[in-house]
């Protein structure tokens, strides 16, 4: 059976590629973008199954209206893919207040508003699937992307909590964690802080490590997304690309080793608090 898919950030990159893959197989798609002109060719090709909506996810009321419009137009909202977002490149010291607030506003609050809008619609229809596009940088970090890292860590915590809250409504949650891909994320769509020369060496080392073999092909991703959408019991988390699993396996091994090394200190800090005196 065809599904109704709501995708944010569908003008290019993953959003555009996935929207087209859903349309090709017969699903109905509500594709949102700040500039829907980029979707005119798809709209002409799929006039009955594509609904384009101009949306800035930072606008909470507009996000709710877009979900309601989709539900009224297609009769359901089966899958929501929160894909809208961008990368902010800059060391922590380099990042301005406006840059930091704008990054969190879009990557975290924009995702939150769409998620909040989708929940009552999905609950009323007896279920649904919310897919949150996070990043491997939502699990581990790289330098010069501190605020972006923070935004994706927030997405991870928000979404894992959400999964436990909505499962009894029949709503499933999946966190997608791509490694680097050759989209506009690190190019035209990215934002860059005013540089401080002291961080030039760290940046050079970071960029030197981004070899062609570590960058995925976005055109190879639709099959994975289609499989996740069609899965009766989808995973809470899934990597996209081959970099995440070996890298994060080592990261977690290192974390466990450190926690083990400091376990006695941690246990001693527990003390003997009585019931009713516990604090987190």
Residues marked active site are found at: 134, 148, 152
CA 71 to chain centre: 22
CB 144 within 8 A of CB 199: yes
Q: Catalogue the long-range contacts made by 24-27 (C-beta closer than 8 Å, 24 or more residues apart).
A: 25/226, 26/2, 27/2, 27/3
CA distance 214 to 220: 14
Q: Residue 273 to residues 46, 130, 266: CA-CA distances in angstroms? A: 63, 40, 14
Residue 117 is classified by DSSP as H
Angle at which helices 146-166 and 111-125 cross, to 10° = 20
CA distance 200 to 206: 10
* Closest by CA position to 77, among listed 38, 45, 122, 123: 122
Strands (DSSP E) contained in the chain are 4-7, 28-33, 50-54, 79-82, 88-89, 128-133, 171-178, 191-192, 237-240
* Closest by CA position to 28, among listed 53, 54, 3: 3
Angle at which helices 97-104 and 146-166 cross, to 10° = 30
């Amino acid at each position: 059976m065809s599904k109704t898919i709501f995708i944010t950030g569908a003008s290019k990159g993953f959003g555009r590629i996935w929207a087209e893959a859903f349309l090709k197989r017969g699903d109905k798609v509500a594709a949102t973008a700040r500039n829907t002109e980029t979707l005119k060719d798809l709209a002409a090709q799929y006039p009955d199954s594509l609904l384009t909506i101009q949306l800035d996810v930072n606008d909470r009321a507009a996000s709710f209206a877009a979900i309601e419009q989709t539900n009224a137009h297609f009769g359901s909202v089966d899958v929501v893919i929160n894909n809208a977002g961008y990368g902010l490149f800059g060391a922590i010291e380099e990042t301005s207040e406006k840059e930091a607030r704008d990054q969190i506003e879009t990557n975290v609050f924009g995702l939150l508003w769409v998620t909040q809008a989708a929940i009552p619609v999905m609950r009323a229809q007896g279920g649904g699937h919310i897919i949150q596009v996070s990043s491997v940088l939502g699990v581990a970090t790289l330098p010069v992307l501190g605020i972006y890292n923070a935004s994706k860590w927030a997405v991870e915590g928000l979404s894992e909590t959400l999964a436990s809250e909505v499962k009894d409504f029949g709503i499933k949650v999946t966190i997608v964690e791509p490694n680097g891909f050759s989209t506009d994320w690190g190019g035209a769509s990215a934002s860059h802080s005013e540089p401080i020369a002291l961080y030039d060496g760290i940046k050079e080392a970071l960029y030197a490590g981004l070899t062609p073999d570590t960058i995925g092909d976005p055109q190879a991703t639709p099959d994975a997304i289609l499989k996740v959408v069609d899965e009766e019991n989808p995973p809470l988390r899934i990597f996209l690309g081959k970099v995440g699993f070996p890298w994060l396996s080592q990261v977690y091994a290192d974390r466990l080793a450190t926690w083990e090394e400091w376990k006695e200190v941690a246990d001693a800090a527990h003390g003997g608090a009585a019931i009713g005196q516990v604090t987190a």
